[in-house]
Each structure stands twice: as C-alpha cells, then as structure tokens.
Amino acid sequence: MYSPAVDIEREFGLAFWDETCPPLTGFHAHAGTLQAGLMVEFHTRMGPGQSVDQRLKMPRWMRTFEQLGGKVEIRETDLSDLERLAASSELVLVAAGKGEISQLFERDSQRSVHEKPQRTIALTYLHGMTPRSDCGGINIHVHPGVGELIHFPALTLTGPCDIVNLEAVIGGPMDDWNDVSNPADHLEKTLQQIRSHFPWEAHRFENVRLTDELGILAGRVTPTIRKPIGTLPSGRSVLGIGDVFVLNDPATGQGSNNASRTSKILFDAIQARGREPFDASWIRSTVDAVWEATRCSASLTNTVLSRPPHALKVMTACSKHPRLAREFADGFGDPSSMTWFFDPLAAEQKIESYA
Ligand SMILES: Cc1cc2nc3c(=O)[nH]c(=O)nc-3n(C[C@H](O)[C@H](O)[C@H](O)COP(=O)(O)OP(=O)(O)OC[C@H]3O[C@@H](n4cnc5c(N)ncnc54)[C@H](O)[C@@H]3O)c2cc1C
C-alpha cells in the first residue's frame, strides 16, 4: 500500500506494523527486451509505502474490532443471510472481493473496459533475495509483449520478505502456469521465467526460498467495475465495497489502497449522517464519492496494462527528469493526480512542461 493509504490506517490507529514492516521508499522502473536492450531505466524516492501480509493484518484487525465491541463471525454468507442482515440493520456493506456472492452486483458495462483477464498472475513470497542497494521499494520490470516482473520488500508471518509478482501477457511466452500444481514447482517456474525473460534481475534470486507453502498464488483477474448497489429479492439494498465495486488487475497495486480510501469515505459519511437513516439519496451520494475516489485507479491500471505508445514516452522522460519520475511514482498512491498519464495529448504536455 502506498503512503496516502497507510496514512489513513495511521489516522485510525490501525497501522500496527510501522516498526516491523520494511518501508517502501523507492520506485525503480526498467523496460527493455533481450533483443532491443534497455529502453527505460529510472529510480526515484516515493512514499513511504508498506506491504503487510493480509494474513498478519486481518487477524490483528479482527481482534481489535472485537476489543472495541464489534462481533466477528467467520462463516459463509449467502443471500438469505444478507436478507436477514438487511432487515435487522441500518446499513449492510458487502466486501466479498471475488467471492461468488459479488454477482449480486451487476457488472457496469459503461465503466468496465475489459471483458477478459489481461494478465496471468503468479505471486510468490520469498526469503533470501538480494536487495537493490539504491532502491528499497517497488521494482517494476517491463518486457514488452511478454509481461512484467514486480518485486518489493514486505512483512509476512515469518518476518521481512520480498513479494514477487509476475504478470504474463495472455497467450505470451510467460503465460505458462496451467501445469504448476505444487509450491516447489511454482518456485521453480518463477525462477525459470525470471532467468528467461528478466535475466538482468536473475542474480537477485540465486538464494531464495519460499517463506511458506501458502505464500504463492497463480490465476487471472478480469478487471471489472460493478454497480455498487445490490438489490435483494425483498427489494432491500446492500452496498458493495472494495473489490466488489472496483476490481483491478494487481499490476499497479491499487485494490487495498482503494479499500482504505473507501473505508475513510464511508466512515466520514456514516458519521456525518448522525441519526438520519441511510436512505437512497445517502447511498447514491456515498457511492458517487467512492467512485470519484477510486475510478482513476482503474484508468491507471488500464493504461499500464495496455501500454499505449505515450506510456513508454512518459517512462522515457522519467529517466531524464527526476522530478517527473517522482511525480510519476507518487501518482501510484494517488491515481487522481495522474489523469495526464491516461491521455496521449496531456502526457505530451506534461513531458514538455518538464523539458
Ligand atoms: C496477486 C495479487 C496482488 C495484489 N497486490 C496488491 C498490492 O500490491 N496493493 C494493493 O493495494 N492491492 C493489491 N491487490 C488487491 C488487494 O488484495 C484487493 O484489492 C483487496 O484485498 C480487496 O479487499 P476486499 O476487502 O474488497 O476483498 P478481499 O480482500 O478479497 O476480501 C474478501 C473476503 O470476503 C470473503 N468472502 C467472499 N465471499 C464470501 C461469502 N459468501 N461469505 C463469507 N466470506 C466471503 C473472502 O474469503 C475474503 O476473505 C492484489 C491482489 C492480488 C490478487
């Protein structure tokens, strides 16, 4: 998570890992191919962000929630539960991520750009990586036509680690994960792909091991924007938040940041409502505010994944202009400041303004 989202956790007294999680203070980008050689390389300061394993974070937050008087029940929720909750509660928020129950919320075909996954994702938690000496943060390596290698320090169950995310272009040479069935094979495939497609980075992975057998993941995400108001068979409304509403490919690391921003908006809107009911007009204005705060994360991710020519021009310009590089890196934490990056003309003007 980038610094603005971690700041929200600090504001609420929920940033319990400031002392133990390695800070993400740098942003390093590299684009090139084996044939064409180096196209882009820059690094800059950013943040500081933080990547805390959700397996550490969520149990701690659930305990805190209970200490504050909340009640946690761990079980599968179905439509009849939602009906019961909606009948007995002032407000029901559904944060079911990619769970099946999210289908209660209709896909928004106007706002959704993609109908299919854009990458095959393979994520791995590792101990033993050799760090960069000049950039303790996010490293993004782009191999045009093949995919991306993204890695950054993090905190997991067994202490500090590195997270490695391979993003394979669908149908490309790295899109080769179907036959991987166990953690050892997953690690081997990851290392093999790094050696083949990101050889300049392979030396950092010579002595790695998995942090634990569950610290791996491979799959695909169809980036999807849904309509955030779900109507139950009874006609009552429930509100979809987080990935239920705006689901991005993880390439730009936006989802947890959106979740944090959204929680703050909801908290403020709920407080401001006082004793008034959460009626249709409150729901409408609240979801509009959430969309306003999260929509640019989808534009940023779509631009990075589709890689239009102007995106490469911007990255090339970042190699020459350190202040543009810093602005670009900090934009990942605040995509609403990046609208210039989504549009070729505005991107040209931005580059010129730094020239
Ligand atoms: C590989 C990968 C890497 C990522 N990297 C980053 C990153 O670097 N930065 C970032 O900001 N984001 C990242 N994300 C995205 C981030 O993890 C999600 O956006 C974020 O967790 C969304 O939070 P959420 O609460 O909406 O959903 P989730 O975190 O998915 O939580 C939903 C929960 O609901 C539960 N659930 C679902 N259905 C039911 C049901 N019927 N009954 C009961 N429980 C149910 C699920 O089990 C799950 O625990 C990444 C995602 C992936 C897949």
Domains of the chain: 3-52+118-220 (3.30.9.40), 75-114+223-304 (3.50.50.60), 308-354 (no CATH)
What pLDDT score was predicted for residue 135?
Answer: 78
Q: Whose CA is nearest to atom 46 of ligand 1?
A: 96
Residue 43: how many CB atoms within 10 A of its CB?
21
For CA atoms 144, 147, 149, 150, give the dihedral sign: positive
Q: Please say if the pLDDT value at position 34 is more than 80.
A: no
Rg (C-alpha) for the chain, rounded Å, is 21
Question: Would you state the structure tokens that stand for residue 258, as one six-digit string?
Answer: 């959106």
Q: Please say if the pLDDT value at position 33 is more than 90.
A: no
Angle between the N-to-C axes of helices 255-273 and 3-11, in degrees from 0 to 180, rounded to the nearest 10 = 40
What pLDDT score was predicted for residue 348?
Answer: 97
Cβ–ligand 1 contact at 135 (below 6 Å): no
Q: Please say if the pLDDT value at position 332 is more than 80.
A: yes
pLDDT band at 32 (very low <50, low <70, confident <90, very high): confident
pTM value is 0.96
What pLDDT score was predicted for residue 169?
Answer: 97
pLDDT band at 279 (very low <50, low <70, confident <90, very high): very high
Cβ–ligand 1 contact at 47 (below 6 Å): no
The residue with tokens 């946690």 is: 72
AA identity, residue 352: E
What pLDDT score was predicted for residue 37?
Answer: 78
Which helix (H) or strand (E) segment is 8 a member of? helix 3-11
Q: How far is CA 340 from CA 43, 249, 321, 351, in A?
A: 20, 21, 16, 10
What pLDDT score was predicted for residue 49?
Answer: 96
- Distance in angstroms (rounded) separating the CA atoms of residues 244 and 173: 31
What pLDDT score was predicted for residue 225?
Answer: 97
Question: Would you state the structure tokens that stand for residue 63, as one six-digit string?
Answer: 């305990």
Q: In testing the pocket of ligand 1, which one of 77, 220, 243, 334 has its CB within 8 Å of the most ligand atoms?
A: 243
Q: Write phi, then psi, for 129 (nearest 5 degrees).
A: -75, 145
The model's pLDDT over 213-256, given as tens digits with 9 standing for 90+, comes to: 999 999 999 999 999 999 999 999 999 999 999 999 999 999 99
Nearest partner of 53 among 150, 124, 141, 133, judged by Cα: 124
What pLDDT score was predicted for residue 39?
Answer: 86
- Distance in angstroms (rounded) separating the CA atoms of residues 180 and 189: 8
The model's pLDDT over 167-189, given as tens digits with 9 standing for 90+, comes to: 999 999 999 999 999 999 999 99
What pLDDT score was predicted for residue 134?
Answer: 79
Q: Whose CA is nearest to atom 34 of ligand 1?
A: 96
Pairing of strands 137-143, 24-33: parallel
What pLDDT score was predicted for residue 326?
Answer: 96
The model's pLDDT over 78-95, given as tens digits with 9 standing for 90+, comes to: 999 999 999 999 999 999
HEC profile of 314-343: HHHHHHHCHHHHHHHHHHCCCHHHHHHHHC
Q: Whose CA is nearest to atom 4 of ligand 1?
A: 250
Quick check: helix, strand or coil at residue 121?
A: strand
What pLDDT score was predicted for residue 218?
Answer: 97
Percent of the chain with pLDDT over 70: 100
What integer best gives the mean pLDDT of the chain? Answer: 96
Pairing of strands 237-240, 93-94: parallel
Question: Would you state the structure tokens that stand for residue 239, as one six-digit string?
Answer: 């509100």
- Distance in angstroms (rounded) separating the CA atoms of residues 214 and 351: 43
Q: Please say if the pLDDT value at position 36 is more than 80.
A: no
> How remote is the CA of residue 243 from the centroid of ligand 1, in Å?
7
